[in-house]
């Protein structure tokens, strides 16, 4: 029986308020949380308990695809897949991508914007990558 994935119409930035990163002090797992009111970002390390914060710089000019937007720390949940870069902001995001990859049937809903899954890169959507992607995600889930 095929499993069914129904697009929950999540926006591409749905999970970006909480991003797991590599702590700049100890290399452990840290959480970057950002809020719009007040406009503020905080990094908090689970290992060494380092804490830092800053106001959001919404006009930031340059940023990297492999680091978080506010502190430029490497994503914790990342891996390379062939020559592609894979990452998830947090475990909920990883789980959502996993459900999408696992599903044999993918359904769309009416919506007025591109959803998170529609914006996923082609290598994630490709059925031939399914088993290897799921193995990679299972490894990241234990991180």
Rule CB under 5 A: which residues touch Zn ion? 23, 25-26, 28, 45, 47-48, 50
Which residue matches tokens 């696992």? 102
Shortest approach of Zn ion to residue 111 CB, angstroms?
39
Cβ-based nearer residue to Zn ion, 49 or 135 = 49
Cβ-based nearer residue to Zn ion, 4 or 49 = 49
Shortest approach of Zn ion to residue 25 CB, angstroms?
4
Cβ-based nearer residue to Zn ion, 50 or 81 = 50
How far does CA 6 lie from the centroid of its chain? Answer: 19
Cβ-based nearer residue to Zn ion, 45 or 88 = 45
Q: C-alpha angle 96/109/90, rounded to 5°?
A: 15
Other CB atoms within 10 A of residue 20 CB: 23
Shortest approach of Zn ion to residue 110 CB, angstroms?
44
Q: Is 63 left (phi over 0), alpha (psi -120 to 50) or beta?
A: beta
């Amino acid at each position: 029986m095929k499993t069914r994935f129904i697009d929950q119409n999540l926006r591409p930035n749905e999970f970006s308020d909480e991003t797991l990163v590599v702590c700049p002090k100890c290399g452990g797992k840290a959480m970057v949380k950002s809020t719009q009111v007040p406009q503020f970002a905080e990094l908090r390390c689970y290992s060494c308990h380092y804490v830092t914060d800053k106001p959001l710089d919404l006009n930031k000019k340059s940023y990297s695809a492999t680091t978080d937007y506010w502190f430029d720390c490497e994503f914790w949940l990342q891996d390379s897949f062939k020559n592609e870069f894979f990452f998830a902001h947090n475990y909920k995001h990883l789980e959502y991508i996993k459900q999408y990859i696992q599903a044999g049937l993918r359904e769309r809903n009416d919506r007025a914007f591109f959803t998170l899954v529609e914006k996923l890169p082609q290598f994630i959507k490709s059925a031939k990558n399914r088993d290897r992607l799921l193995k990679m995600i299972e490894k990241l889930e234990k991180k």
